Chains A and B, each alone.
Chain A
Amino acid sequence: MTTSTRGAAKAPAVLVLEDGRIFRGRAYGAVGETFGEAVFSTGMTGYQETLTDPSYHRQVVVMTAPHVGNTGVNDEDPESSRIWVSGYVVRDPARKPSNWRSRRSLDEELTAQGVVGISGIDTRALTRHLRERGAMRVGIFSGEAVMDDAVLLAKVQDAPQMKGANLSAEVATKEKYVVPAIGEKKFTVAAVDLGIKGMTPHRMAERGIEVHVLPATATVEDVYAVDPDGVFFSNGPGDPATADHAVSVMQGVLERKTPLFGICFGNQILGRALGFGTYKLKYGHRGINQPVQDRTTGKVEVTAHNHGFAVDAPLDKVSETPFGRAEVSHVCLNDNVVEGLQLLDQPAFSVQYHPEAAAGPHDAAYLFDRFTSLMSTTQMEAERA
């Protein structure tokens, strides 16, 4: 007889949704209580990247893939310096990680970073619930935090809403830092950090870009202080309707016609800067299998998404904006949500999804090349002028 490694069962845990639905399972990661917006992610790989994506700040992420933690935790794949999700919901956590790069188990990592999770619940039922009723507030309680259901529900209903939340400043860097170009330096880019993922400056650096990452509070003057060839606005958490400061900085950049690129939150900022509205999706796009069509080429790319809000821009026509003509460049074929914007009269574009793709497919990596070619065209025109 071998001795059982199943050990003592983990503490009971309860997941309570704001509409009163309750799931009971076992604690995973840290024991205690946590709150956030319940969202589901359909990616079958890349849990480390997901956990460390700042855009998931204040969200409780439900993994639709049942087995999580199989490859453990390594030191290379995180997208930022910490785990940002406020809670984690999985069905079957790995008992033993297996990968040549693994350093420790995910359970250990979650515990070390104080992330409260729950395991062993019907994650598909929860996902279907969120799909039908929309993303909503949720609480996870384990150990001593488990109390009477009604008390827990009241706590969940007291937690803050995602709509109206201004969160970029909470996740962005406080100090400016520089990511040097890999190989020969060709361009300088000022990147406004609204919750940037580590892979984004890396993808730029690979293309000879020296990236100056600036805090979310950076002003137009701060941006131009680095003498940029292009300006970038990153992804990030929260409601774009609250991001007035970022919108005004972007408008400053657009006025100067500096090449501009935005990802995710950056796309919503561009939308607002151009005068479009933004709105909250029922349950968002979170996964790495979303079909997006590049309307300029007709080609479909399989892309990584993580957005709960979207830009409200017309799909069927070119819009007039204070910065000239604008059009929707990319669209999600699942539901026709705007996935990209571009200006036709000056060098600025953005996408709602994640071309840096960590986790996710690399189909949209060409967008970084599009950014560098905008910068070289602009440089050449400047030289000719």
Chain B
Amino acid sequence: MSVYNDSNADLLTIELNLLLEGIFLKYGYDFRNYSKAHIRRRVLSRLGLSGLETVSELQSKVLRDPDFFKDFLEDLSINVTEMFRDPEFYRSFRENIVPKLRTYTYFKVWHAGCATGEEVYSLAILLQEEGLLGRCQFYATDFNRKVLEIAKEGVYQKVDMELYERNYQLSGGKGKLSDYYNSMYGSVMLNKDLSSRVVFADHNLVTDGVFAEVNLVMCRNVLIYFDKTLQDKVLSLLSESLVPTGYLCLGTKESLKFSKVENQFNILDDKQKIFKKKLNV
């Protein structure tokens, strides 16, 4: 049990800020503008598991022990995802974006914050069914190298497939999800041709610059962990990465409303958060 309660909450805030500052200075990962409630929850849970009493003790261990930091980095990143998550989004993608993509002979897609890759493969399946995967150069990035390795392998747990199959059907899938993977024991392996057009790469939205100039950016359920300032910064980066009339796809609870880039985009689907960059920005 940690030593923190309502009487020393201010001290906890100070120690959390020092911890994030220390991580930035030592390792270059910048969590200083992340949601504080999220960070506090993860740090207190790590304290409980590690038997340490204070955040200052944790800070000392994080700064001196890179292996401990690696595990702690996992605590701070959110890697919960699923295939065809929010099926209506993929349905809207087919209706609103695919017809335009058909008019291109070649296009680039950037999935920023791809975590363990389930949504990368989902979009690759959709593009393949629409006959567009061969024209696509697909970049999938995350700051967490461990999850990128999982994404590259494309091996997932069989128990999740029932939900993913249901999502896939709701998303307007044209076949069966099982057409796209092979089962082996408790796992499934996604067909390799799905990732043949995908480059998985290490990129940090908070500290790195524009990754490439692309026709479409997917960045779903990443911004919700950022404060207003950081959201504006990252949205500007995403906007700069898009060609004029390029598409921006955010999570269903994310929005451009009140952001600095709001007037750079038109809304294509307000509910599924699909935006189109204006021609003259």
| Same assembly | no
> Which residues on A are within 8 Å of B, measured CB to CB?
none
